Structure 1
Amino acid sequence: TFEKMDIRVGHIKDCQKVKKSKKLLQFTIDDGSGKDRTILSGIAAYYEPEQLIGKDVLFVANFAPRKMMGIESQGMILSAVNFDGSLNVTSVLGNVKPGSQVG
């Protein structure tokens, strides 16, 4: 099933807290398609939106869209939980074009 996941690189153009939610952040992602993608992620306890804008992250592109708090999320940003319970969004080390597929 891991091979069926379409994991890609996305550039975070914008990030905001979702109103009326303590957990959700709303991301505007450049996914390389020429059209921005909206992704919601329950990581507001770990990051302020300003910390993430401009970062390149890994996301799952082929999950079915899902509505949360009235907003359609079009993917899932990948994160890793450390042994101490902190969370880190996965990113790339070098300069990788948005939309590049992870293999």
Structure 2
Amino acid sequence: MSGFRTASEKVPTMKSLNGVKTENGVSSKASEAAKNDVKAEPEKIDFSNVKIEPLFEEMVDFGTFSKSDFRAVKVKECEAVPKSKKLLKFVLDDGTGTDRVILSGIHEYYEPEELVGKTCIAITNLPPRAMMGIDSCGMLISAVHEVDGKEGLNLLMVDDHIPAGAKLY
């Protein structure tokens, strides 16, 4: 498993720990590791077959860049948009106390239920844009790349300890 997603393959976000589960669905080995505060060895990923887009040759001045408001957002709900093969509708906690709705065309890479509870990064000061009759109020940040000739995409997810609304600099 390479850790990258392509449109033709669905990769779970977490590896099973030998498939051992208790009645509440938690791996006993994972529970023991948590009790002993043991850190798992990070998965080694081979990046030799990954192709990325070249960097932009044009520079963006700092003033233009700093106008974008990047925030940590928590996924409260996520569902497929009816009559759309690509769009997912996210209901997000952006720290303001009011739910934010963002649509993203990443359904070919993720199932909605696997994203609920995740902490992602969004640009929150974009004007609303109607898609499929629904206003999308922002943009979720993803990394796009090519693996073995196929496009891959990973939604940028961060540590769940980062609170909703935290500003990125």
Which aligned pairs between 1:22-101 and structure 2 lie closer than 5 A? 22-84=85-147, 85-93=151-159, 95-101=161-167
The alignment partner of 1:47 has SS state of coil
1:20-65 deviation per Cα after TM superposition (whole angstroms, max 9, x unaligned):
0011000000000001000000001110001100000000000000
Which aligned pairs between 1:3-14 and structure 2 lie closer than 5 A? 3-14=66-77
Higher RCO (CA 8 Å, separation ≥ 6 residues) = 1
**RMSD of the TM alignment (CA)?**
0.9
Q: CA deviation at 1:94?
A: 5.1
- Which region of structure 1 is more displaced relative to structure 2, 81-90 or 30-39? 81-90
Letter in 1 for 2:67: K
Aligned length in residues: 103
Q: Where does structure 2 lack aligned partners over 5 or more consecutive residues?
A: 1-63
Contact in 1 for aligned 2:92/2:100 (Cα 8 Å): yes
Distance 1:53 1:82 in 2: 24
Distance 1:87 1:74 in 2: 21
Distance 1:47 1:63 in 2: 24
Q: TM-score, normalised by structure 2?
A: 0.59
Letter in 2 for 1:68: M
Q: Where does structure 1 lack aligned partners over 5 or more consecutive residues?
A: none
Q: TM-score, normalised by structure 1?
A: 0.96
The alignment partner of 1:81 has SS state of strand
Distance 1:51 1:17 in 2: 12
Letter in 2 for 1:73: S
Moved over 4 A (4+): none
Distance 2:132 2:86 in 1: 11
